[in-house]
Amino acid sequence: MPKPVTIQPVRGTLGILIPGMGAVATTFIAGVLAVRKGLARPIGSLTQMGTIRLGKRTEKRVPMIKDFVPLAGLEQLEFAGWDIFPDSAYEAAVKARVLERGLLDALKDELEAVRPMKAVFERRYVKRLDGPHRKQGKSWMDLADQLREDIRTFRQTRKLDRLVMVWCGSTEIYIEPGPVHQDLKSFEKGLVENDSAISPSMIYAYAALQEGVPYANGAPNLTVDIPALQELAKKKKVPIAGKDLKTGQTLMKTILAPGLKARMLGLRGWFSSNILGNRDGEVLDDPDSFKSKEVSKLGVLDYILQPDLYPDLYKDFYHKVRIHYYPPRGDDKEGWDNIDIFGWLGYPMQIKVDFLCRDSILAAPLVLDIALFLDLAARAGMSGIQEWLSFYFKSPMVAPGLYPEHDLFIQLKKLKNTLRHLKGEELITHLGLEYYDE
């Protein structure tokens, strides 16, 4: 048997810090509170609902994941966040119009107690948004220090054992990695000099890592996907993960595309269009924020289908992604996909997907899982990029020189094998020849 990795036990309370207390964050917080009270079930959460097979099929050992690895329990979580609007989590959840008012009212006292701290924000990074609840500072570094103070105060006043931070803020404009992002020294100089290639989300990430707090990025912003912050994560021995939660349309894409490829069916084109009317949709209506999202969404098919390896099937397929802001729909997004495929002898066929989803309902359980697994990673002494959490992201971060793994099923296998590895269980290869030996 392989040796298990030493994992610090779960003790005390885990604080979850959330920059951006909008639709996703409040649906997540309210959801955890509702599950705690027995009002609802944590559907969509692998940590809460999932099982893991151990050993041979004949052993019939299939524990729940939360019983197999030591994860913080839902009753051990506390929440805090930042936003440019001073609304409590209750008010923000009511405005987001994701969860029913009756449910929110049943959780009102606890949700009202979660009040955002003043945010680090600059309009040039999220052009369609502005709000009054902001910190003032002499420099980016000064603002980072203020965030660090917020983190320390939250830790002390609530007597928290551990913390994690998950970015649920709006999508910032597209930023190319540049010289200031290349190493920690240049980055810190940039913080002092207010370098415009450093965005607010990077300042939150810097503050978290300096305080030894694991950081995950739920949006497509560059944020921790830069060598400077990865260097800091390694230096401080803190795990990081990102980026962009894999929910609606991209989730479907990474379910369908591996299936087409498994059967060696060809692809001529994939046209994806979305309508959504929440604040996220409004922010993404700005071309610079959309560019961050577009880059995050477009990579998926190339990596899964590998046109270089399969030119007859996937060379030059046409891939287009559109997001349209359409207020009447609120958070209830509709994502259409038209997929032009071809089969035996090149005969064309079409697949149409019309996914009437709820964005934040799909995203909330991912925030929970990411927070719990990042905390597990920290207690297991894992630091830097946590590629085994690719399962949750549209645009997974990977070590330099590696291509990201987008296939949802390979990602799940990787995640579960990582849990087996941590606990010293045999990895599952699905070979299974031994069942047929004489």
Ligand X SMILES: NC(=O)c1ccc[n+]([C@@H]2O[C@H](COP(=O)([O-])OP(=O)(O)OC[C@H]3O[C@@H](n4cnc5c(N)ncnc54)[C@H](O)[C@@H]3O)[C@@H](O)[C@H]2O)c1
When asked if residue 277 is in the footprint of ligand X (CB under 6 A), the reply is no
Stretch that binds ligand X, among 7-15, 49-57, 244-252, 414-422 (CB under 6 A): 244-252
When asked if residue 126 is in the footprint of ligand X (CB under 6 A), the reply is yes
- Between 26 and 383, name the residue whose CB sits nearer to ligand X: 26
The amino acid at 419: L
100: which 2 tokens?
Answer: 């029913």
Contact residue for ligand X among 49, 85, 285, 423 (CB under 6 A): 85
Element (H, E) at 105: helix 101-106
Contact residue for ligand X among 71, 107, 120, 163 (CB under 6 A): 120
- We find the least distance from the C-beta atom of residue 278 to ligand X, in angstroms, to be 5
Segment 184-213, which members bind ligand X (CB under 6 A)?
A: 200
Q: Which of 75, 57, 79 is nearest to 66 (CA)?
A: 75
- How big is the site for ligand X, counted in residues (CB under 6 A)? 36
- Residue with tokens 């955890």, as numbered in its chain: 32
CA atoms within 13 A on the CB side of 48: 21
When asked if residue 180 is in the footprint of ligand X (CB under 6 A), the reply is no
DSSP 249: H
The amino acid at 159: K
Distance between CA atoms of residues 121 and 132, nearest Å: 10
When asked if residue 147 is in the footprint of ligand X (CB under 6 A), the reply is no
Contact residue for ligand X among 19, 70, 239, 242 (CB under 6 A): 19
Q: Which of 382, 396, 363 is nearest to 241 (CA)?
A: 396
Q: Strand ranges (DSSP E) for 117-222?
A: 117-118, 162-167, 215-217
When asked if residue 280 is in the footprint of ligand X (CB under 6 A), the reply is yes
Contact residue for ligand X among 48, 146, 170, 274 (CB under 6 A): 170
3-state secondary structure of 297: helix
- We find the least distance from the C-beta atom of residue 299 to ligand X, in angstroms, to be 14
- Between 42 and 218, name the residue whose CB sits nearer to ligand X: 218
Quickly count: other Cβ atoms within 10 Å of residue 116's Cβ.
Answer: 22
Interface ranges with ligand X (CB under 6 A): 19-25, 82-85, 96, 119-121, 126, 129, 131, 168-171, 200, 218-219, 244-245, 247-248, 278-280, 359-360, 362-363
